[in-house]
Amino acid sequence: MSVDCRIFDRLPDGREVKAYTITNDIISVEVIDFGATVRCLFVPDKHARMKDIVFGYDTVKPYINDGKYFGKTIGQCCNRIKNGEFTLNGKSYQLEKNENGKTCLHGADEYCNKLWQSEKLNDYAVKMSYISPDGEKGFPGNVKTEAIFSIDGNVFKIEYKAVSDKDTIINLTNHSYFNLNGYNHSDICNHIMSVCARKYLPTDENNVPTGEIESVENTPFDFRIAKPIGEAIESDFEQIKKCNGIDHNFCLRQKCRDMNVPAIILAEGKSGIKMSVYTDQTGIQIYTGNFLDGTGKNSSSISKYSGVAIEAQGYPDAINNPDFPQVIVKSGEEYSSTTKFVFETM
């Protein structure tokens, strides 16, 4: 096992952006310290050929203010907050509304557009750190955040920890897009997916949860039995048509939040790669790349449904929905989140 560090690029102000490659004899992952971003993830297919299965860029420039969020760490509070506002301890907070001037999306792009402090921890892990000042993007508290990326055999693990000096809301996730055929191959419609969820969160015209928690039964969101992603996104179900695909939070069953039962299993027959996702979070946002376009690594073409983002997190807009599991973190308390990606071949 080894961790290699190199200069990936420089920001416009001249600061170095480092890339760390963590490698063992099974898998390899590269993370850069701009946005604490997963840039590459190589895993073996059924023919023992290494495939890079996540989307990214070759230089730092397209990562700056990248609305696709390829591989980035998202915070201080990921996903959407209705009207970019919330009340905590009787005080109202107005956040930056960075999505159509209506919604605070992904913490108003704060964490993912910062250069994090980075260091090698050992031969299988890298730590990245960021301090968010009180009031940044409207969020209360000086928040110290750590992201630890590590590998162990066929497992890639992401751990987040954060502490604030004020009561605040924290909800961190990674925004990697996966294509188990490789980032430069077709779409994910033939990927077979199962999700350990009986319920999901319907959304309004701004993709913000309505506050309802609905059963997946008799809807395209029913992945309790594995099925092709394309079968769901080709549906004429209202929630699917409104989003042009899936962009919804799945409410994970309690048994799938203990790191022993997979929350999601994603598999692809041509490559033979199976990815099992384990998390301690209450939900997972699944986004099927409904509006992807452009160019990625090695001039690869990116288009609608090219990849699927699997974002382990707390429920979106939880602070404005008291019936949702909450993402409030008290002053001095530690927030923590762990997600593992386990790779096998079929």
The C-alpha atoms of residue 189 and residue 229 are separated, in whole angstroms, by 5
At 119, list the tokens: 């260091």
pLDDT, residue 85, reads 98
Residue 84 has φ and ψ, to the nearest 5°, of 60, 35
pLDDT surpassing 90 at residue 190: yes
Which of 110, 136, 159, 311 is labelled catalytic? 311
What is the C-alpha R_g of the chain?
Answer: 19
Identify the structural domains of the chain with CATH numbers, from first to last: 2-345 (2.70.98.10)
The C-alpha atoms of residue 176 and residue 229 are separated, in whole angstroms, by 17
pLDDT surpassing 90 at residue 84: yes
pLDDT surpassing 90 at residue 215: yes
Classify residue 115 by its DSSP letter.
Answer: B
Kindly report whether the global pTM for this prediction surpasses the value 0.85.
Answer: yes
Mean pLDDT of the chain: 97
What's the one-letter identity of residue 91? K
Q: How confident is the model at residue 74 (pLDDT cuts 50, 70, 90)?
A: very high
Q: Is 340 exposed, middle or buried (0-12, 13-18, 19+ CB in 10 A)?
A: buried
- Residue 212 is a catalytic residue: no
Which of 175, 191, 248, 268 is labelled catalytic? 175
Give me the mean pLDDT over the 77-82 stretch.
98
Give me the mean pLDDT over the 5-10 stretch.
98
Q: How confident is the model at residue 185 (pLDDT cuts 50, 70, 90)?
A: confident
Run of H or E residues at 265: strand 264-268
pLDDT, residue 69, reads 98
Give me the mean pLDDT over the 315-320 stretch.
98
Q: How confident is the model at residue 338 (pLDDT cuts 50, 70, 90)?
A: very high
Task: For the sheet with 283-287, list strands across it.
Answer: 177-178, 308-313, 283-287, 247-252, 197-200, 214-215
The C-alpha atoms of residue 306 and residue 309 are separated, in whole angstroms, by 10
| Cβ contacts of 322-327, under 8 Å, gap ≥ 24 | 323/211, 323/213, 324/209, 324/213, 325/282, 325/283, 327/77, 327/169, 327/170, 327/171
pLDDT surpassing 90 at residue 186: no
pLDDT surpassing 90 at residue 201: yes
- Residue 47 is a catalytic residue: no
pLDDT digits 0-9 by tens, 105-150: 999 999 999 999 999 999 999 999 999 999 999 999 999 999 999 9
Q: 146, 112, 93, 161: which is closest to 319 by C-alpha?
A: 93
Q: Are 183 and 52 in contact (CB under 8 A)?
A: yes
pLDDT digits 0-9 by tens, 165-175: 999 999 999 99
Report the sign of the C-alpha dihedral through residues 221, 222, 228, 234, in that order.
Answer: negative
Q: How confident is the model at residue 326 (pLDDT cuts 50, 70, 90)?
A: very high
The C-alpha atoms of residue 264 and residue 194 are separated, in whole angstroms, by 6
